[in-house]
Chains A and B, each alone.
Chain A
Amino acid sequence: MTRLVEVPAQFDDRSFDQFAAAFAEAGRNGERLLFDAHAAEWASPFGLVGLLAAGQAAGHRDTGHAAKPLLTAPTHPDVLGYWTRAGFFREAAELFEIHGKIPKVRVTDESELLLPVTPVHAAEDVHAVVSRIQQRASAILASELGLDPKATMGFAMALSEACQNIVEHAGTGGWAAVQAYNWRRTLGRRVVVIAVGDAGVGFRHSLEPTQSRRLGDRWGDAAALEAALIQGVSRFRDPGRGQGLAGIRRYLARWNGKIAIRSGTARIAIVPPWDEDVPLKDGLPLFPGAQVLIIIPEQESAER
């Protein structure tokens, strides 16, 4: 029997928990999954990377059959075209049995798509991502977001550290994507969004050997995320470890940006004044691995 997982019509970080709940429920009995995105109208980089992580996780489950999970592609031509140009189907073809006619368009270099969905497995992939983003992001960060041109290096650093989280901790591969767009929802300004995600072991599992005893009964996904993002804790005992997320936080503090990390059943965020997110959520539907969202807004003239 095949179980249905509906992909939200507007698929981003806000609707992700709805998707995660459907994924957790459908996957309970180990049956083959069908991800239904036929009615999708829009997906953020976070949504696209999250859908790939779900496909990766569904393929790795002990389902008793070798078939890949199914994916019904969006039917709206514009949506289908965008997902294709964003590199989603290039990666999805490895993970899903795809139903729907995928247009033969190239993964694109259009200006707003700073980094199409890109696989990250090893250090070499991080080099490729960082090299590409510096070539593409400088003009947009400076001219459209009003960041100091020197901020491009910090942006590349933030992306590098987020990607290394996959390489060093996930135990599997993941994906990164970067896009600029108009953020009508709460801000009414341009933003650049970084999404990095995987379906690996997640923060709790990664930190458990060194941190769980210290936190005792409090130990769980939320405590692991707090330890990593707020306290700069790493699974390695080397005092030089754990600086990557702290570095991202410093960069975002300077440019009034946001970071949110979802792992397991919890989600943590450093919330800037322009956003209404909550700092920590626990008891969310279980979703494997870790999903990182970084948002850098256009600077208001007083901030420039």
Chain B
Amino acid sequence: MIQHIDVHALLQESVSAMYADLVTRPTGRVVRERIERAIAADGRGGVTIARMDFTGVGCIDYSCADEIVAQLLRGRPAVLLLSGLADGHREAIDSVLTRHGLAALLERGDGTLETLGAPEAAAALVREVLARHLAAPTSGGALALTPG
């Protein structure tokens, strides 16, 4: 089961609706706790992939990226699939994941997948999603989620 998480919507529920930026540790903590609750609530249905959609999010700083993505992965609630990332988002998230020796999947606009984070953790993540049939190689040699 894939759970969809609208990060921008959670952000606006967490801080003033005026702000679209994922900045500061306190904000990151509040958003992460909401994501954890959402995953736990749906966990009864067997969430295997949490798709975190960053569309609409402005700036992400390193502190907030650490507090949300890295801390979530340390709890291993599900495989994290990040989508809607701008270049600036990607840089901050990749950096904090690498520092922690963690990895996540990034879903490109065409639906293919790549990894972010530490190379060894990224290789292990690819092996895991292939072994669990969550993703499969495409005809072009990329990786994509398996239907259903």
Contacts and interface: CB of A to CB of B under 8 A. Distances in A.
B27 A123 contact: yes
A226 B24 CA distance: 23
Given A153-B86, A154-B91, A157-B88, A126 B99 contact: no
Nearest to A148: B87
A79 interface: no
Given A150-B87, A154-B91, A247-B92, A164 B59 contact: no
B4 to A, nearest CB: 24
Contacts of A131: 18-21, 58
A153 B97 CA distance: 19
Interface stretch (A17-25, A207-215, A238-246, A272-280): A238-246
Nearest to A158: B61
Contacts of B89: 153
Contacts of B23: 126-127, 130, 156-157, 160, 164
A128 B19 CA distance: 8
Given A154-B91, A168-B25, A240-B71, A127 B62 contact: no
B10 to A, nearest CB: 15
A164 B23 CA distance: 9
Interface string B2-38: 0000000000000110111101111100000000000
A247 B23 CA distance: 13
A243 B88 contact: no
B24 A160 contact: yes
A85 to B, nearest CB: 24
Given A131-B21, A160-B59, A154 B88 contact: yes
Interface in A121-169: 123-124, 126-128, 130-131, 134, 150, 153-154, 156-157, 160-161, 164, 167-168
Given A157-B61, A157-B62, A243-B66, A127 B24 contact: yes
B112 interface: no
B61 A161 contact: yes
Contacts of B59: 130, 134, 153, 156-157, 160
B24 A123 contact: yes
Interface residues of B, number: 31
A160 B70 CA distance: 19
Size bin of chain A's contact surface: 20 to 34
B63 interface: yes
Interface in B54-72: 58-63, 66-67, 70-71
A240 B18 contact: no
Nearest to B24: A123
Nearest to B67: A240
A97 to B, nearest CB: 34
Nearest to B60: A157
Nearest to B27: A123
B48 interface: no
Contact of A243 (B18, B60, B63): B63
Interface in A206-258: 239-241, 243-244, 246-247, 250
Contacts of B67: 240
B61 A160 contact: yes
The 10 A-B pairs of least Cβ separation, nearest first, read A153-B88, A123-B24, A240-B66, A156-B59, A247-B62, A243-B62, A160-B61, A123-B26, A160-B23, A127-B19
24 contacts: A123-B24, A126-B23, A126-B24, A127-B24, A131-B18, A131-B20, A131-B21, A131-B58, A150-B86, A154-B91, A156-B21, A157-B59, A160-B23, A160-B59, A161-B61, A161-B63, A164-B25, A239-B100, A243-B62, A243-B66, A243-B96, A244-B63, A246-B95, A247-B92
